[in-house]
Amino acid sequence: NAGVTQTPKFRVLKTGQSMTLLCAQDMNHEYMYWYRQDPGMGLRLIHYSVGEGTTAKGEVPDGYNVSRLKKQNFLLGLESAAPSQTSVYFCASSRTATGELFFGEGSRLTVL
Amino acid sequence: EDQVTQSPEALRLQEGESSSLNCSYTVSGLRGLFWYRQDPGKGPEFLFTLYSAGEEKEKERLKATLTKKESFLHITAPKPEDSATYLCAGNGYSGGGADGLTFGKGTHLIIQP
């Protein structure tokens, strides 16, 4: 049982480049989330989805876009990467809005 | 604004030396207080959910408790494999959305043999 899988695990970008992070879950969860984790700060919610075809903004959505075309996948896009987006990104899923989160192993992104 | 504050930021213990981690929260309409464990280079792993003051949950050497303002993660006779960062998160009312979870910054725990 794979749980939540994120690809890629590591990526280096130049300022202004674009990229997409892919998250896949095999638990049939309705809710999916993208967080970023920076040193000295707690996990911060970027965007989330309450079901296939839906997306909503979290605490720090600027500079990111998301899509949930299939229930099992949640994509996070950076259209024009900035050094401030250097971070570790975690995808998570949950069965309910108030249930425990299942996290992926993270994607470490460096923007030069 | 919901807030979750964890203390201490870091804690170094000898193997077998019991201690407690603190999580203070101000979360409107608390719908659950969560504890996660995070190992270096990994995603957080769920440990416990507590819903009401007075509730306690245990797993091996860990016990989580909840009051109206704080949660504690008690670690009894820890082993080196308990070394990790422990995250606390409060899920508050979010107007029907799924964005009510606020994470603390974590406590980095090191257990020395």
If you measure CA to CA, which chain B residue comes closest to A104?
B43
Token reading at A90: 């975690």
- d(CA B56, CA B64) in angstroms, rounded, equals 6
Distance of residue A93 Cα from the nearest chain B Cα, in angstroms: 11
Answer yes or no: do A94 and B46 touch at CB < 8 A: no
Tokens 């998301």 correspond to A66
Of B28, B37, B40, B20, the C-alpha closest to B4 is B28
Predicted pLDDT of residue B67: 96
Answer yes or no: do A42 and B46 touch at CB < 8 A: no
Distances (CA, A) of A48 to A60, A66, A95, B25, B62: 11, 8, 13, 23, 31
Of B19, B59, B14, B3, the C-alpha closest to B35 is B59
Answer yes or no: do A48 and B41 touch at CB < 8 A: no
Residues 35-54 of B with CB under 8 A from A: 36, 41-46, 49
- d(CA B102, CA A90) in angstroms, rounded, equals 15
Predicted pLDDT of residue A42: 86
Answer yes or no: do B32 and A98 touch at CB < 8 A: yes
Ordered per-residue pLDDT tens for chain B, 113 residues: 889 999 999 999 999 999 999 999 998 888 999 999 999 999 999 999 999 999 999 999 999 999 999 999 999 999 999 999 999 999 987 766 678 889 999 999 999 99
Nearest-by-Cβ selection for B99 from A40, A45, A106: A45
Distances (CA, A) of A91 to A24, A31, A99, A107: 9, 11, 15, 9
Distance of residue A12 Cα from the nearest chain B Cα, in angstroms: 17
pLDDT in tens, A4-41: 999 999 999 999 999 999 999 999 999 999 999 999 88
User: Of A2 and A14, which is predicted with more confidence?
Assistant: A14
Answer yes or no: do A92 and B32 touch at CB < 8 A: no
DSSP per-residue string spanning A18-74 = -EEEEEEESS--SEEEEEEE-TTS--EEEEEESSTT--EE-SS-TTEEEE-SSTTEE
Predicted pLDDT of residue B93: 78
pLDDT in tens, A44-101: 999 999 999 999 999 999 999 999 999 999 999 999 999 999 999 999 999 999 899 9
Token reading at B53: 């003051």
Q: Are A100 and B49 in contact (CB under 8 A)?
A: yes
Predicted pLDDT of residue A1: 66
Q: Are B30 and B91 in contact (CB under 8 A)?
A: yes
Distance of residue B5 Cα from the nearest chain A Cα, in angstroms: 10
Distance of residue B32 Cα from the nearest chain A Cα, in angstroms: 7
A74 touches B: beta carbon within 8 Å? no
Residues 90-109 of B with CB under 8 A from A: 91, 94, 97-106
